Structure formats: C-alpha cells, structure tokens
C-alpha cells in the first residue's frame, strides 16, 4: 500500500492516492474476516499439521485456546498493516509509531493482569494481544477518517477545512470503499496485493513448516514428547530473537518504501538511487551491530539464562544462537532490499523470488537431512533435525538476497543501484 499511495501522491494524483488507500482498507476487512472464519473452522487439522499433537495433550489444549482468541484479531492485524502503509505513503511515520507504541503498552499491561495476576496462561496472552491490536486498528481508522488527530495534530473531521490552507482544500481523509469499483480502478492494488499475499503466504508456509519439523525433531532417534518440546521451545526462542532483529531491520525497509516510491513518482532517478544506497549502508551497519549484540549476549550466557532454565531447551538453543548471530548482516540486507523493491512496485518479481527461495530452502533441508553428502560431509555426521531446519531458513534468506541483488543491479531497471549505463 505504501508505495502505491506514495507514487500517486508524488505524481500529484491525490484522488488516486486516497482511492488506493480506501480500497486497501476494504480489502483488509474482507480478507481478515475470511481468515478468521478459516482459522476457526479448520482449527484442529491446522494444529495437527503444526505438530501440536506430538508435543503432548497439554500443549495441544493451550494451542487451541490461543488460536481461537488470536483468530479474532485477523481483521485488526490487516487493518493495521493497510493503515500503516497509507500513512507511510504520505510520509507520516510518527502517527503509526505512536499508535503501535500505545497498543503495545496496553498489551503489556493486559499480559501482566491476565497472565501474571489471573493465571490465564496462553489464552490470557492471546486475549491481551487481540485486544491491543483491535485498539490499534480503531485508532488508525479514526486518524484516517479525520475523527482523531494525527501525530502533528493536522487531521480534522472530513467536513472541516484547513484554516491555514488558502485554497480551502479538504484535509486528508481515507475510509474503506464499500461500493463495487471498476476493475481498471482496483487492478493496481489487486496485482500488488496478490503478489505480496503470495509472497507472505510462501514465507509463512516455510516458517510454519520449520516449526512443524522442529516439533517432530528426534532425540536419540526416538520421537519423545520432552525432546520435541525442548526443540519447539528452542526453535521459538531463536525465531523470536530472529524476528526481533528482523523488525529492527524492517524499519529501514519501511522508510525506503515511501521514499523510493516518492522519487519514482517525481521521476527523479538520482534520488531513488541515493535513497537506496543510503539504506544499504545503514543496513550493513545495523546488521553488524545486531550480530555484535547477540554475540555478547550469547558469550556471557545472558540470553540463554534469560529465556529458559530447562536443560534440554538450553542445549538446543545454544546450537541455534550461533546461526542467528551470523545471519544478521544477511537479514538486514534482505529487509532493506525488500523495502527498496516494494517502493519500486516490483511486487510480482518479489513473489517469484520468494517462491524460488522457499524451494531452495526445502531442497537444502532434504540434502542435509536425507543424503549421505549432507549428513557426513556438510554436517560432519551431526544428525540434528533442528539445526538442519535452521540451515534451510538461512538458505531461504540467502536466495532472497541473491535474487533481490539481481534486480537492484539491473540496468536499465527501476533502481540501477550502481548507475550502469546501457549502450
């Protein structure tokens, strides 16, 4: 949404920018509702597929409680994502930050009450997150409709005029579009959304498959509930650390989306290239910084001690932290490249790139897990399914980086990072 809105705004197509924003909100409501219904109806088979039955009846019970509550948040999550993109398209990053910080604070308070005080466990955590996300979604809709002020205080109700604007132009208001639009009007959003949706689905399938394989990890060749639980716990801790670092790297992508789209909308190739180069420089610095911080936390024992006291989980987690540490520079590049290419509206290319990357990741997992070459030569005889899963995830990121680099360096291309001249 952000690059589509930013591109039209920069090209002085204000009506087109607002129309895309309204369509994005409508699509978020429809898809979110469909996702909620799907998760509630197919709850049991989805959890079985994820391997909760392997980890024991208690884990399966907690997972069903958690999923039931979290499924209700699907429309809110998509509304937050669409609204965030609209605001970034107008180069407003302060308002989304304030809303998300506020909602996360609410989430924390509810976690303390529901989990810490009332002992509701995973269900309480799910309720806290769901409530916070709906509060954030309603705040976003309030700001976009002009009923709540933005961070700079400029938004007013849709029927009021900007007193400082001599032309009497109505201030920004974006609301869901409920009438049936023409295909020509929604085609750019549908194409972009479909490509991003496919890319996201493929990525989530890869992540979910990794979690399912972690749940089925073996201990001494025998699937055991305790061993599987340790593997799942270690996988989730490592994954959350990885995602935390990814969110920090995604800040660069968030900024670059709107700035690159803005430059393209103005037809300023030099600005697009300068923004891209700056983002990658900061991305490299951020990646190295994150690796250093994770290394310090691992070497001192702080990270392992902070997350768990279970010996089985500690042993499995120690194996994964080294991989997470060395992956950070690669992660920062991948997320920065995502932002730049999304700003250039290369959605279809990114979807194809993600599909290729996931195939490569599964291929690497099969080679390492089921071939003599992978087991004896690459892994040195270390038969550890959980580690193999993570090598597959790193392969996914590496292939995303390679395919992104190809498009970034392409001349002629939307970015042409090195300013190559075509003869």
Tell me the average pLDDT of the chain.
Answer: 80
Residue 373 is classified by DSSP as: I
User: What digits encode the pLDDT tens for the residues 105-128?
Assistant: 999 999 999 998 998 888 999 999
User: What digits encode the pLDDT tens for the residues 4-14?
Assistant: 787 787 778 87
- Could you write out the DSSP letters of every residue in 338-350? HHHHHHTT-HHHH
- Could you write out the DSSP letters of every residue in 75-141? HHHHHHHHHHHHHHHTT--HHHHHHHHHHHHHHHHHHIIIIIIT--HHHHHHHHHHHHHHHHHHHHH
- Could you write out the DSSP letters of every residue in 60-93? HHHHHHHHHHHHTTHHHHHHHHHHHHHHHHTT--
**Residue 220: exposure state from Cβ atoms within 10 A (0-12, 13-18, ≥19):** exposed
Q: For residue 237, what pLDDT band results from cuts at 50, 70 and 90?
A: confident
Residues in the chain, total: 423
- The alpha carbon dihedral of 71, 72, 78, 81 has a sign of negative
Residue 3 has pLDDT above 80, yes or no: no
Residue 164 has pLDDT above 50, yes or no: no
> Over pLDDT 70: what percentage of the chain?
78
Report which listed range, 3-12, 116-125, 189-198, 217-226, is most confident.
116-125
Residue 147 has pLDDT above 90, yes or no: no
pLDDT for the residue numbered 172: 60
> What is the residue whose two structure tokens read 């992508």?
253
């Amino acid at each position: 949404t952000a690059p589509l809105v930013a591109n039209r705004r920069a090209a002085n197509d204000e009506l087109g920018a607002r129309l895309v924003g309204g369509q994005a909100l409508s699509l978020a409501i429809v898809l979110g509702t469909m996702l909620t219904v799907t998760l509630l109806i197919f709850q049991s088979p989805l959890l079985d597929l994820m391997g909760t039955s392997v980890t024991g009846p208690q884990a399966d019970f907690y997972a069903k409680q958690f999923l039931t509550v979290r499924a209700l948040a699907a429309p809110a999550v998509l509304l937050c994502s669409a609204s965030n993109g609209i605001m970034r398209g107008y180069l407003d990053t302060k308002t989304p930050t304030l809303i998300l910080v506020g909602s996360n604070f609410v989430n924390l308070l509810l976690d303390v009450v529901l989990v810490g005080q009332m002992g509701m466990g995973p269900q309480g955590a799910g309720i806290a997150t769901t409530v916070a996300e709906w509060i954030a979604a309603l705040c976003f809709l309030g700001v976009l409709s002009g009923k709540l002020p933005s961070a700079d205080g400029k938004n007013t109700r849709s029927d009021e005029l900007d007193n400082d604007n001599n032309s009497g132009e109505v201030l920004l208001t974006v609301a869901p579009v409920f009438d049936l639009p023409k295909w020509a009007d929604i085609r750019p959003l549908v194409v972009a959304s479909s490509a991003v949706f496919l890319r996201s689905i493929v990525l989530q399938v890869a992540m979910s498959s990794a979690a399912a394989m972690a749940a089925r990890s073996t201990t001494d060749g025998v699937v055991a509930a305790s061993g599987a639980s340790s593997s799942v716990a270690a996988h989730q801790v490592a994954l959350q650390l990885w995602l935390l670092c990814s969110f920090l790297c995604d800040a660069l992508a968030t900024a670059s989306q709107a700035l690159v789209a803005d430059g393209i909308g103005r037809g300023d190739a030099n600005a697009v290239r300068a923004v891209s180069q700056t983002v990658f420089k900061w991305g490299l610095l951020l990646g190295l910084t994150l690796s250093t911080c994770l290394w310090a936390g691992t070497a001192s024992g702080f990270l392992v001690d902070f997350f768990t006291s279970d010996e089985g989980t500690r042993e499995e987690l120690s194996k994964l932290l080294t991989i997470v540490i060395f992956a950070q520079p690669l992660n920062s590049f991948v997320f920065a490249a995502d932002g730049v290419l999304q700003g250039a509206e290369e959605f279809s290319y990114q979807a194809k790139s993600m599909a290729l990357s996931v195939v490569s990741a599964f291929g690497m997992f099969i080679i390492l897990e089921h071939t003599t070459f992978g087991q004896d030569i690459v892994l040195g005889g270390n038969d550890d399914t959980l580690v193999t899963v993570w090598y597959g995830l790193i392969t996914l990121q590496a292939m995303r980086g390679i395919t992104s680099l190809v498009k970034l360096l392409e001349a002629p291309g939307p970015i042409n990072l090195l300013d190559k001249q075509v003869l």
